[in-house]
């Protein structure tokens, strides 16, 4: 390691001296400006390669007041949905010449605005991606607007016209799942919902219930568990993973005297937990219990039996978010709704005679 060793880095001026032009012209070449003659361009390019010039992003940021950094908040219990989101966002950023910076925020203990203030904020990202829940923290949105930082919301619940957002068709996916389960003959349902503050939680829950009731069911056919209740029950030091939360929910739901024949969960991670719990209790899936999730994240095909779920186009959501943040000029109130699609796998089946 040569840390400590002083290395004056190669600058525009060095290149300029070699190529016999001004630094500004080199800058033009580096930034692909037009209005540079082909010969000059070639000569400069040669000089750049020769001494291995590397633009200094800090200097550029300072001069342009543009960092080319995209910030992304993630929740502490990482679902598979988020892992995929992070991955695709990384790739999209790169394609557009930006870099992705990750920030973790547990809204159950910290205010998102506070986390932002003490962390990402003075990085002055060019744009910020705010996933569900976080994106409904009005203090945070205010703060971002004060800083005039661009941001995009993923699945916002409130003030939809305030800023651009991307979301999946939560209601549509839920409706499809409900129809599917009903048509298989299920009449008694367990549900595990997400965090109530998230729009997706409400939309997925309500669409499901509404569809069942429209089909002929009633509200008394449901056993509903809310995710926060599960998280609260956790004794351990580490936050409960969503899969573990699902397992816990399974313990509760499957012990009921009137056991549901189908369970629908807020996302695939929770559903995976239910499947595991069913295995542990000797309940066979899908013969004795059907389970459906949401997202179609990696985990869906990793369960056994593989999970019936509503596919959200996670990669597309991430790409669109990055696109919105990096488009120039910025389009004020873009709203993109990605459609969801029912994916039937082996975790759901016709209702059996228990």
Stretch touching a copy of itself by CB under 8 A, among 11-19, 218-226, 255-263, 327-335:
327-335
Q: x/- site string to a copy of itself, residues 237 to 266, per CB under 8 A?
A: ----x-x-----------------------
Q: How far is CA 118 from CA 112, 115, 121, in A?
A: 10, 5, 7
Pick from 14, 110, 119, 221 the residue near a copy of itself by CB under 8 A.
119
* Separation of alpha carbons 219 and 216, rounded Å: 10
Report residue 49 as tokens: 């390669």
Stretch touching a copy of itself by CB under 8 A, among 55-63, 166-174, 203-211, 223-231:
55-63
Under the rule (CB under 7 A), what is the footprint of DNA?
8-9, 11-13, 20-25, 27-28, 30-31, 34-37, 39-41, 53-56, 59-60, 62-65
3/109 with CB nearer a copy of itself: 3
Q: Does 342 bind a copy of itself (CB under 8 A)?
A: no
> Alpha helix locations (H) across 119-169?
138-146
* Separation of alpha carbons 159 and 162, rounded Å: 5
Residue 231 CA from chain centroid, whole number: 20
Please give the backbone phi and psi of residue 121, each rounded to the nearest 5 degrees, phi first.
-55, -50
Q: Min. distance of Cβ 218 from a copy of itself in angstroms?
A: 34
Q: Min. distance of Cβ 40 from DNA in angstroms?
A: 4
Query: Considering only CA atoms, which of 109, 70, 75, 110 is closest in space to residue 90?
Result: 70
Residues between 172 and 231 that touch a copy of itself (CB under 8 A):
none
Q: Could you tell which of a copy of itself, DNA, none binds residue 259, using a CB distance below 5 to 8 A set by kind? A: none
Q: Could you tell which of DNA, a copy of itself, none binds residue 154, using a CB distance below 5 to 8 A set by kind? A: none
9/258 with CB nearer a copy of itself: 9
* Separation of alpha carbons 139 and 149, rounded Å: 14
Residue 320 CA from chain centroid, whole number: 12
Residue 41: exposure state from Cβ atoms within 10 A (0-12, 13-18, ≥19): middle
Beta bridge mates, 150:
127
Number of other residues whose CB lies within 10 A of the CB of residue 230: 22
Q: Min. distance of Cβ 1 from a copy of itself in angstroms?
A: 6
Q: Min. distance of Cβ 63 from DNA in angstroms?
A: 3
Q: Find the helix or strand (DSSP H, E) in which 104 lies.
A: strand 99-104
Beta strands 150-154 and 165-168 are parallel
The site for a copy of itself (CB under 8 A) is made up of: 1-5, 7, 9, 52, 54-59, 61-62, 65, 67, 69, 74, 78, 83, 86-87, 90-91, 94, 99-104, 119-124, 145-148, 150, 163-164, 241, 243, 272, 275-276, 279, 298-299, 301-305, 329-330, 332
């Amino acid at each position: 390691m040569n840390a400590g060793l002083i290395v004056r880095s190669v600058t525009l001026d060095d290149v300029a001296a070699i190529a016999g032009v001004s630094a500004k012209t080199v800058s033009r070449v580096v930034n692909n400006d037009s209005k540079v003659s082909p010969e000059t361009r070639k000569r400069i390019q040669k000089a750049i390669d020769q001494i291995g010039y590397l633009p200094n992003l800090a200097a550029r940021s300072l001069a342009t007041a543009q960092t080319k950094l995209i910030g992304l908040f993630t929740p502490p219990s990482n679902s598979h949905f988020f892992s995929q989101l992070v991955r695709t966002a990384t790739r999209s950023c790169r394609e557009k010449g930006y870099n992705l910076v990750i920030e973790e925020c547990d809204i159950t203990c910290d205010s998102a605005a506070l986390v932002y203030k003490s962390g990402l904020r003075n990085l002055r990202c060019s744009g910020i991606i705010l996933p569900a829940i976080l994106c409904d923290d009005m203090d945070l949105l205010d703060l971002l607007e004060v800083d005039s930082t661009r941001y995009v919301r993923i699945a916002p619940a409130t003030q939809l016209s305030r800023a651009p957002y991307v979301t999946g068709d939560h209601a549509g996916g839920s409706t499809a799942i409900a129809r599917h389960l009903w048509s298989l003959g299920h009449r008694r349902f367990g549900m595990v919902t997400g965090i109530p503050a998230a729009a997706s939680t409400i939309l997925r829950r309500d669409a499901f219930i509404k569809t069942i009731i429209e089909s002929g069911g009633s509200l008394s056919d449901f056993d509903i568990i809310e995710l926060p209740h599960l998280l609260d029950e956790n004794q351990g030091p580490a936050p409960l993973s969503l899969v573990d939360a699902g397992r816990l929910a399974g313990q509760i739901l499957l012990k009921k005297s009137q056991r549901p024949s189908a369970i629908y969960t807020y996302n695939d991670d929770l559903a995976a937990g239910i499947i595991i719990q069913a295995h542990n209790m000797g309940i066979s899936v899908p013969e004795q219990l059907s389970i459906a999730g949401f997202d179609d994240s990696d985990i869906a095909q990793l369960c056994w039996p593989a999970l019936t779920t509503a596919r959200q186009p996670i990669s597309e959501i991430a790409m669109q978010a990055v696109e919105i943040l990096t488009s120039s000029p910025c389009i004020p109130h873009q709203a993109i709704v990605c459609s969801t699609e029912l994916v039937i796998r082996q975790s759901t089946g016709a209702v059996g005679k228990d």
